[in-house]
Structure 1
């Protein structure tokens, strides 16, 4: 199941000025991309071979604009993705590839739970890797004006992979956003962070589990993953807790949280680290401590509900028990969420696009208004808040 790519948002880092203008005639755009590739020093034969037969894929554009699954709550999303079958398959793969996961931990400091969780969510452990022609998907998105600065460099990277003999433009398939293989990496990241885990002299994320797992671990290390540290831990909070202190932008030393009565639901709190109290569905739902490694996962996917679910699933795969779901206040409907975002924007809050998705900016605005209105400031929007605004 694919939502947004492992490396899709990593590539939003600074890129060179674009030579190919987005939008307009597709054939003209392809010609401009060929010029850009030549300017980058690529051979005409490789460029022509790569673009031969390229076409615009409207299915890609449709997929890019319809990711409504992220409007689900954490409980809905996690319960839809985490099944007994995925947990048992995760355990089986952890045992089957124990040596590979040990290498990931020793070489890159990345725990097996995180790698298993993303392997499961991205492609169901390699079973569903996507059937979009990767070359066409990348060129389509590079031509589209939503994020050309992200995808044009990916096209150039794919040409380089093609020149190396590891990318067939006609037969390579993957996700709609151009990611390839079991952990779904973009071409530029394969070039820069791909690992030949099985020692066969090539990097194949589609067919080699060692290549895929170790490449994913290398990617996370490069993004700032801290070895031998946790990422998420379920906790219980006292009824007297100050809800305004919750949220990822309110991290403080773990010992401070312990002094306020925060208790690990299983095991002990991680000493010597900073953490934030995360309430994905408000004070009446599950509660977690999010450690620094949790924030690294947002370089994999910008969706809060996806990252929280993946991080939680990773803890389950390493022995944590199922969360205490609690009894959260009902979520707002799509129309109510849009109305709330409009009211928040009218009060001067930057909530980004009015899309009905409870993202980080909307949560921050909700918490500020809850504080102003004297409501429990747990960043979970309710009809009471909507009416008060």
Structure 2
């Protein structure tokens, strides 16, 4: 049954049930999609029976204010001495599991521990939204049905394999378990780490850790390579060279007097200089593995914080926070994005959040206006525009 359903999961096209409209009709359409994807009819009927919309899910989806925090604020709120000590204790206690993750999938334990810590506080806070209802609510909503309808089908397949219960709870966006993976990722890349014949990310540390490692490997994680290193930059550094759009070999950065604070630069690897809060804040050299982390979470601040915390778990020193210029408030950031969009820059959704597109546009305008091109928006830039 598992092999047959997995084969269908990999071959089946994305669901095509209409979003919006009557929810009962939507459920019937999704049930038909599940049967077409190989879920037995009686199992599909049981999966969808009693499902309902959850207005709290839609509210959460439209209010992701945490990503408006700066890197320093976000990282200092998530990283504590206690959390660091717990991560290192977990590393020791579960050494065999993390060694398997490193050996079989090439993923560092620091990265896995960082996401485990941030996603669920090492499994203690996994979310209390009913996962089936959350996924169906988001699949019915017309904002991103193409993302969530396939997740509903994956959950139905997991249900058919006894790897998903109708009372499963998790995050508002449908992520499940200790490392918060979506059903399709669990279906396609879940690992039975403890050998009990099931993939249960809510209760099995081995299943959760190894599934997370396999997912990162699938998305391109390169074994044995670093992901982020804090660096110091020399006086007179060309700030226009910073940002994810510029990559150079480590040897070229070293020739420009970029100096690591923890060990040597990784030889033979290309990297980018990252300034999460501009030239007056901390500086990092990020390698290809850093970019893979955006497959786990799309937030620049979240990913950078997790990547930094992973280095701390593995022994790096605390970052030099510096004294960055104050951040724009949400209203100012929204106004900045509107101005940048009017100038022809692709900043993505105008939402008051400093994402990668806005940072790149800011840097281009700083260069054009003769300002330090460090990608960090300031009131001076907003005034100049």
TM-score of Structure 1 vs Structure 2, range by shorter chain: over 0.9
Structure 2 counterpart SS, 1:211: helix
The 3-state SS of whatever aligns with 1:289 is strand
CA distance in 1, matches of 2:12, 2:195: 32
Task: Give yes or no for contact 1:238–1:261 (8 Å, CA) kept in 2.
Answer: yes
Aligned to 1:187: 183
Contact 1:161 1:191 in 2 (8 A): yes
Instruction: Provide the C-alpha distance between the structure 1 equivalents of 2:151 and 2:163, rounded to a whole number of angstroms.
Output: 15
Match of 2:7 in 1: none
3-state DSSP of counterpart to 1:125? coil
SS at match of 1:228: coil
Report deviation, 1:14.
Answer: 12
Report what 1:388 is aligned to: 384
Q: 1:302 is matched with which residue?
A: 298
Picking from 49, 63, 66, the partner of 1:66 is 63
Match of 1:21 among 18, 29, 38: 18
1:173 lines up with 2:169 in the alignment: yes
1:275, distance to aligned residue in structure 2 (A)? 0.3
Q: How does 1:41-190 map to 2 (within 5 A)?
A: 41-169=38-166, 171-190=167-186
Post-superposition shift, 1:42? 2.1
Q: Which residue of 2 aligns with 1:323?
A: 319
CA positional deviation for 1:41? 2.7
* Partners of 1:53 and 1:84 in 2: CA distance: 45
Structure 1 residue 17, shift from structure 2 partner? 4.9
Shift of 1:33: 0.6
Find the residue that maps to 1:177 and give its secondary structure: coil
CA distance in 2, matches of 1:91, 1:357: 32
Change (3 A) 1:15 1:304: farther
In 1, the alpha carbon distance for the partners of 2:165 and 2:334 equals 43
> In 1, Cα distance between the equivalents of 2:45 and 2:303?
39
Is the 1:134–1:180 Cα contact (8 Å) retained in structure 2? yes
**Superposed CA RMSD:** 1.3
SS of the residue corresponding to residue 32 of structure 1 reads: helix
Contact 1:234 1:289 in 2 (8 A): yes
Deviation at 1:15, TM superposition (A): 8.3
> CA–CA distance in 2 between the matches of 1:287 and 1:71?
20
Alpha-carbon displacement from aligned partner over 1:169-223 (angstroms, at most 9, x marks no partner): 1x11111111111001111111111111111121111111011100000000000
1:273-288 equivalences in 2 (<5 Å): 273-288=269-284
CA contact (8 A) 1:15 1:149 kept: no
Task: State TM-score, norm by structure 1.
Answer: 0.95
> Which stretch of structure 1 is more off in the superposition, 33-42 or 63-72?
33-42
Q: In the alignment, what sits opposite 1:39? A: 36
CA distance in 2, matches of 1:57, 1:156: 18
CA distance in 2, matches of 1:17, 1:120: 32
Choose from 205, 212, 217 the match for 2:208. 212
Give every structure 1 segment of 4 or more consecutive aligned residues whose post-TM-superposition deviation is greater than 4 Å. none
Tell me how many residue pairs correspond in the alignment.
Answer: 376
Normalising by the residue count of structure 2, what TM-score does the alignment of the two structures yield? 0.96
